[in-house]
Amino acid sequence: MSLLTLDAITLPAVAECSLSVAAGASKKKLGAGGAALLAAIGGHAPLTAGRILLQGEDVTHRPAERRGTATLFGPETLFAHLTLFENVAFGLRRKGGGFGGIARRAELALDLAGLRGMGNRRPHDLDREQGWRAALARAAAPFPDALLLPEPPGFLDAAIRALRPRDGGAVLLALSEPERALALADRIAVLHGGRVVQCAAPGELWERPLNRIVAEMLGPVNILAPGDAALSAEQPAPLYALRPERLRLVAEAPAVNGGAGVVEAAEFRGDSALLTVRGVARVALRVRVPGHAVPAQGSTVCLAWEARALAPLAA
Amino acid sequence: MAASWLLVLLGAPLALFVWAALHLPLALEQGALIAAAAMAGAAALLAVPTALALRALPPAWRWAVLGLALVPALLGVPLGWDIWAALPFELPDAALALPLLQALLPVATLPVLAAVGAAPPGERRAAADLGAGGWARFVALDLPRLWPGLLGGFALALVMAAAELALRLR
């Protein structure tokens, strides 16, 4: 049984979204509408249509306080009259459990969020980053069935990994930065135009995007049509996605799946550089090369790629 | 500076009253001060659900509705009593407390509403999200914030009630 099921739910920003999340999964929703979807799952936004099932139970019309979900809200929502410890213990107290157990788990959550020894501080003593950390600890401490993180700031990533429920729960994030989604998630649902376009593991999503939208949303990519270059792919398709790291600089240009071109620009990124090479295909190609071996701008290079690097796309 | 200002503010009227108590025929009606405190307490307690009900209204309406409710207080309690007495049916003596309470309640509600209204809006949502239902949210979030407003409301109502009930120059 899946932990969370969205059955054709419709929201002002989302059209007929269906998803299913397994327990222990860490799933990211990428693209516009993700935060709206999380608000609906948490019970903070009414659905226009559809059903939400949590642990097999229909929670569509249940108020937020009886859902077993926890949402990350900003630091301005911390309870100002309570200490950080009491803030984090708030959800734990509602769930019950002995005082010792509650105290231990609240301290642990503060530790994992990077606020060790700050349990006696008040929210107004914190800077913004610490406030976010406290808000994350407060939401994650009761081990909710689903921890909902709409657009969490990037500095929380390590704490999100540390606080993620070990068993039985799931973390759902809405992110608009693909690199973070690829690094954090077990599965990613790509939303476009309020619909789930593709839902897959990060590696699969990167290597086998369903269409051009998914391919371009995740990161730099070359989109090639069969007539754009001498292509030899494993299967026929109207379009192919070719990731920049799948192109290699070679000594001699092959007849198909490669060619000679001129380096038009180079974007240095430290560990790697992203070249723009013109002349190999009808469109300029993006090529990722190691940062320590970047060819000079204007130099001629020979490129090659393997047939299986060409990921077929739906039109 | 501040101390001398407080001395003028508090000391002068107090000295005046001490002089009055010694030289003028002041009369403290039997139990009237206690009755005033009881009325003020009742008004302050009733102010809590009143303020919560007002908070449920759209922000622009809250103070407008409370302002309308203040009209009996503005017109004065004696007028209320006169109207009460002119009603075409007999009322028990205890019902005489009602016009006073009617005037005290909106006055006591003023500071209570100011206190509960100050809660940041996201806080309630966050509390609900952590499993706190309506009553738990009231106890955990509203009650700690209510105390200053409740004390202020009680003080205002006590001043008003005591002025009506307690002391008169004979």
In a domain, B146, yes or no: yes
Please check whether residue B101 lies inside any domain of the structure: yes
Look at A178 and A132; give whichever has higher pLDDT.
Answer: A132
> Which pLDDT belongs to residue B154?
95
Condensed to tens digits (0 to 9), the pLDDT of residues A35-75 reads: 888 888 888 888 777 888 888 888 888 888 888 889 999 99
Nearest CA in chain B to A144: B130
> Distance between CA atoms of A26 and A32, rounded to whole angstroms?
19
- Contact across the interface for B129 and A139, Cβ inside 8 Å: yes
Summarize pLDDT for A221-233 with one digit per residue, the tens. 999 998 888 888 8
Residues 6+ apart with CB under 8 A from A72: A135, A136, A139, A147, A148, A149, A150, A152
pLDDT at A37: 84
In a domain? residue B118:
yes
Q: Provide, as residue numbers in chain A, all residues whose Cβ is less than 8 Å from the Cβ of B127.
A: 79, 90
Residue B89: inside a domain, yes or no?
yes
Question: Which pLDDT belongs to residue A299?
Answer: 93
ipTM given for this complex: 0.77
Closest residue, chain B, to A142 (C-alpha): B130
**Using alpha carbons only, how large is chain A's radius of gyration in Å?**
24
Closest CB to B126 among A43, A63, A73 = A73
Query: Look-up: residue for tokens 């992203």?
Result: A274
Tell me the pTM: 0.79
The answer as to whether B20 is a domain residue is: no
Q: What is the pLDDT of residue A74?
A: 92
Q: Nearest CA to A218 among A186, A247, A176? A: A176
Q: What does each C-alpha distance from A223 to A45, A69, A239, A275, B156 come to in angstroms?
A: 38, 40, 7, 15, 74
With CA atoms as reference, the chain B residue closest to A73 would be: B126
Q: Which residues of B touch A78 (CB under 8 A)?
A: 123, 126
CB contact under 8 A, B130 and A74: no
Q: Flag whether pLDDT at A1 surpasses 70.
A: no
Query: 138-157 in B: which are within 8 Å (CB) of A?
Result: 140-141, 144-145
Query: Cβ(A68)–Cβ(A143) under 8 Å?
Result: no
Closest approach of A32 to chain B, Cα-based (Å): 22
Q: Buried b / exposed e across A56-71, counting CB within 10 Å, b at 16+?
A: eeebbeeebbebbbbb
Position A28 scores a pLDDT of: 66
Reported as a single tens digit per residue, the pLDDT across B24-35 is 776 666 677 888
Domains in chain A with CATH codes: 4-214 (3.40.50.300), 222-313 (2.40.50.140)
Low-confidence ranges of chain B (pLDDT < 50): 170
For residue B125, the chain A residues in CB contact (below 8 A) are: 44, 64, 73, 77
Tens digit of each residue's pLDDT (9 = 90 or more) over A154-199? 999 999 988 887 666 788 888 888 889 898 888 888 888 777 888 8
pLDDT of residue B151: 93
Q: Which domain holds residue B60?
A: 29-169
Question: What is the rounded distance in angstroms from the CA atom of residue B29 to the CA atom of residue A111?
Answer: 64
Q: How many domains does chain B have?
A: 1
In a domain, B6, yes or no: no
Q: Do β-strands A26-30 and A170-175 pair in parallel, antiparallel, or remain unpaired? A: parallel
Nearest by CB to B122, from A73, A81, A138: name it: A73
| CATH number of residue B110's parent domain | 1.10.3720.10
Taking residues A115-130, report their average pLDDT: 93
Q: Is residue B150 part of a domain?
A: yes
Does some domain include residue B132? yes
Confidence at residue A33, expressed as pLDDT on a 0 to 100 scale: 76
